[in-house]
Chain A
Amino acid sequence: MVKLTINGKAHEVDVEPDTPLLWVIRDNIGLTGTKYACGIAQCGACTVHVDGQPVRSCAFAVSDAADKQITTIEGLATNGTLHKVQQAWIDNDVPQCGYCQSGMIMAVAALLKEKPKPTDADIDKAITNICRCGTYQQVRAGIHAAAANA
């Protein structure tokens, strides 16, 4: 049994300790906003926050998340108010198929926490998530819009 706190709610799950956090979030907890795409921490579709840090949950053992605060895309808004990255994504019509965008938004939210006004170079370095639809131009615009909304 592993004890987890996800989006402020306590859970106890019966899984092998080396199970990737992604699959616990999706299949055991039932929060499907966090996506599987590669399983080897290459694409970032599965990005969640563990104690505020962005983590690629497909290659992150659930046991390493025990007793830590996990935030998924479903928990990013606070009291019904969208996170400024989510709002910027709506304002800039960023997603296309949207599949990678949960991870993209979580990665960007973590970047803005560390660097509230990132330069393009900061973005290039920090945001390495794959978007196969190629919405990168809108992602960049969205990041700057969110940063401007301090």
Chain B
Amino acid sequence: MNFMPKMNRRDFVVGAAAGSLTLGMRIPFDAAEAADGAPEVNAWVVIKPDETVVVRIARSEMGQGTLTGLAQLVTEELECDWSKVTYEFPTPGENVARKRVWGDFFTAGSQGIRSSNEFVRKGGAAARMMLIEAAASEWKVPAGECTAQNGTITHAASGKKTTFGAVAAAAGKLEPPTEVKLKDPKDWKVIGQGKKRLDTPIKVNGEAKYGIDTQVPGMLYAAIKACPVTGGKLASFDAGKVEGRKGVKKIVKVEDNAVAVIADSWWRAKTALDALPITWDEGENAKVSSASIAAWLKEGLDADTALVGNKTGDAKAALASAAKKVEAVYAYPYQHHVTMEPQNATARYTDDKCEVWTSTQNGEAALALVSETSGLPIAKCEVYKTFLGGGFGRRSTSHDYVKQAVLVAKQMPGTPIKLLWSREEDMTHGWYHPVTQCKLTAGFDENKNLTALHIRISGQSILATVAPARMQEGRDPATFSGFYPGGAEAAFGYDVANVLVDHSMRNPHIHPGFWRGVNINHNAIYLECFMDELAKEMGVDALEFRRKIMAKHPKHLAVLNAAAEKGGWGTPAPAGHFRGLAQHMGFGSYVAACAEVSVQGKNVKIHRIVGVTDPGYAVNPAQIERQIAGSFVYGLTGLFLGGNTVKDGRIEQENFDTYDMMRIAQMPKVDAYVMPSQGGVWGGVGEPTICVAAPAVLNAIAAATNTRYRTFPLRDHGLTLV
């Protein structure tokens, strides 16, 4: 059969950048030889004579567990023995050469499993059919009389049995099937099981290779500094001051804004760079500060016109005639991704080939950039993907480090060079969670019914900078995540007759980026904290207040009810403990949280936080539970400790001493509940829960202290997470 993996707009953006990348129809089951000479059954599956099953994984593994989940999907349909399953990452170059047989490499937006589940499962099913056909052909019996289970093929009538490994070579020579039928979810045996991760053994002994661990014979090392003010330029540097230092090979200009030192070790490169006199031309942006950004955004809260994301009824008219109005203004700061592995790439350039080894969430975009930067066609370029020491969106759309590595390598042709950013370089040259402010205005009628809601967001658009092609008539649709009037992605979960959500776009020079969870992080804080404010204003319990306006949103309500119940809502809390709720939808999944906190003076202790997720289908509940727990850490770190500030046009925080992360002592007890409602929905799990962490805790803090915090991080208010 022919099928085309679903192409979304993002693919076309990538494709456009890639120039010669082939987008379109392909038959993904053609076989070739695997890297080690073992025959493929098809592009997804290699079975070795010893019965080892190698599953090809196109998406990147950055901790989220996609690797294991995708292997489960293939295994389910292949009917192989899970204990024999291993994996390998095909390269983006191979994908292009084979007409994108593995589909999209993009690993962000919680898409790892969501957008490839169908063709990955079909890859497994097609391989099973071919293996059966090969056995049936050898036995001269109809394939329809044979079955496969646990890597063994059986012909019941004759009692014949063989193994996948024994027929794999013959299967690989067969024509791929034209019709592939997938299992009914009720028959799943591997999907839905909390299988252990396949990549754990090599992550406990130092064997797992991340981009930073790349070793190529003859390799040199480079350290780099770019202008600390985004948009500024490199004016000059005095190479003579460091040229004679031991191990230093070359000092090179990179683009118009950076300088790198190449040396025989990274430490020598880094210390020489630190000693290098550099003059920057910082430009106009050097005048920008957090205060100037905040003032600009504040104007947007009351601007006459704005880009509309959700208009239901007539909120402005309803507010004008409301019996009671409630208003609040919130703000959410810049946040750095802080991948534990700083940005890096190793590049080798010759006139005939350019190769890059790197941690990337999008190998194909990296490949396109290598081609563009090196000036060589895609066929002469290659990107070797490694494990990622965290991604969180930083390595999805912005491969500035890859571009720099190629430009450095081009200045020393033939020599592989590992470019590594220092933590300070990384922290100050991020693609930050966008900065926004939000004014929420609610109107009630005489009977205390919520009749109108106006949510005005003022601030930065990610897409305007990162992917302008995805803007919709000047509007950034991602801005309204969680506020969409409907749809399967991130729909608003309340039934209010008159709703207006609009955006006053203000784009400061600091680069915005997709920060794990993206816009639902602040949107959920704004809405869910405000909902608690409204409930309090009306003298109604926060859960009851929400329930009353959620009848038309049963999935939102189901996770909220579950979080409330598991969190003990409505039952007495331990002395001094207070609870808070939040719910939201994002990435196709419904999430809710119930936090229990105590506050002593300025010290906040989160005793417990319940997280409930309905992702539709749950491929690996054990890993989803870990994503829920980790998401709480990500969201709460941002709430209490994060928040990047701008001074003289540059990001002020340079390392963990000024930009701290949650540690184990601050970790609340997390009770995670996965509630898969199935129904054809494949929701994401790596991101959604982050957005309910902060509002649930903020609502609990408000209950405990009678103080409503509306600007973040909480450290600005003197609050400490203990």
Contacts and interface: CB of A to CB of B under 8 A. Distances in A.
A132 B641 CA distance: 13
Dominant secondary structure of chain B at its interface with chain A: loop
Interface stretch (B17-25, B363-371, B441-449, B660-668): B660-668
Interface residues of A, number: 58
Nearest to B389: A99
Interface string B413-431: 0000000101100000000
B127 interface: no
Given A27-B267, A38-B423, A123-B664, A16 B246 contact: yes
Interface string B44-73: 000000000000000001111100000000
A31 interface: yes
Nearest to A139: B664
Given A40-B655, A40-B657, A133 B390 contact: yes
Contacts, number: 180
A37 B423 contact: yes
A119 interface: no
Contacts of B64: 96
A134 to B, nearest CB: 3
Interface residues of B, number: 62
A23 B267 contact: yes
A34 interface: yes
A81 to B, nearest CB: 12
A69 interface: no
Given A28-B265, A100-B340, A133-B630, A127 B664 contact: yes
Nearest to B667: A136
Given A73-B205, A125-B665, A98 B199 contact: yes
Contact of A95 (B203, B637, B663): B203
B132 interface: no
B267 A20 contact: yes
A30 B418 CA distance: 14
B128 to A, nearest CB: 28
Nearest to B344: A36
Given A35-B340, A40-B657, A23 B265 contact: yes
Contacts of A23: 265-267
Interface string A31-74: 11111111110110100000000000000000000000000111
10 smallest CB-CB distances across A and B, nearest first, come from A33-B206, A134-B633, A97-B63, A99-B389, A98-B203, A96-B63, A124-B665, A134-B630, A32-B213, A42-B656
21 contacts: A15-B265, A16-B268, A27-B221, A33-B206, A35-B210, A89-B203, A90-B196, A96-B630, A97-B341, A97-B390, A98-B200, A99-B340, A124-B664, A124-B665, A132-B338, A132-B634, A133-B630, A134-B634, A135-B630, A136-B667, A137-B629
Given A15-B265, A36-B342, A136-B667, 18 more contacts: A15-B267, A23-B267, A33-B206, A35-B212, A40-B423, A42-B655, A74-B205, A95-B203, A96-B63, A97-B63, A97-B388, A98-B208, A102-B206, A124-B665, A125-B665, A127-B663, A129-B663, A129-B664
Interface of A: 15-16, 19-20, 23, 27-28, 30-40, 42-43, 45, 72-74, 76-77, 82, 86, 89-90, 93-102, 105, 123-125, 127-140
